[in-house]
Amino acid sequence: MNFENTNYNEVLISGTINNIKKLNKYIAFGLTCKTFSNTNSKCFISFHIYEDLYNIYKDLFYKGNKIFVKGYLNSYTDKDNKIVSFIKVTDVSDNPNDIIDGRKGPYIRYDEDGVMVWDGKRCEAAPFEDDDPEYLELLEMLKEFE
């Protein structure tokens, strides 16, 4: 069996958001998680999520909210030559089953102005122009119901 392209650094984790910060092309956020020790100690973990994925689930991102995260371990060397580790997020939810079993449908939420957002895309109706052929055809069809 060839394991050359196999990747085993996937992470599944849950915790409470403790900070959120916009960086260049992604959003950085931190989680406070419970550890598995008897002392009820906590761990703090840093995450990076691309802005397009963040925009789909942005209503989940507020301090104090508990979320479930799926991602991969990643790191870089900073200007002081120190290794900075973080998790690159590939999925986020407020439901652990969405992360473990996969989503059964699209993610639907509503923006602040009441417009439905379907998997990150706003569902806004574009009004017809008075001389639009489709609009004129629709008016013609509706005349029989007057």
Q: How far is CA 67 from its chain centroid?
A: 10
Other beta carbons less than 10 A from residue 61's beta carbon: 15
Closest CA to 53 of 13, 93, 18, 96: 93
The pLDDT-based confidence of 9 (bands split at 50, 70, 90) is confident
pLDDT at 93: 93
What residue spans define the domains of the chain?
1-96, 106-146
Convert the pLDDT of each residue in 31-81 to its tens digit: 999 877 667 788 888 899 999 899 889 889 999 999 999 999 888 899 999
pLDDT at 7: 67
Convert the pLDDT of each residue in 97-125 to its tens digit: 988 888 877 788 887 788 888 877 788 87
Range of weakest confidence among 17-21, 28-32, 82-86: 82-86
Closest CA to 58 of 121, 125, 124: 121
How many residues does this entry show for the chain? 146
What global pTM score does this model have?
A: 0.68
Matching CATH number, 1-96, of 1.10.3720.10, 3.50.50.60, 2.40.50.140, 1.10.287.130: 2.40.50.140
pLDDT at 131: 79
How is the beta sheet containing 121-122 ordered, strand by strand?
108-110, 116-118, 121-122
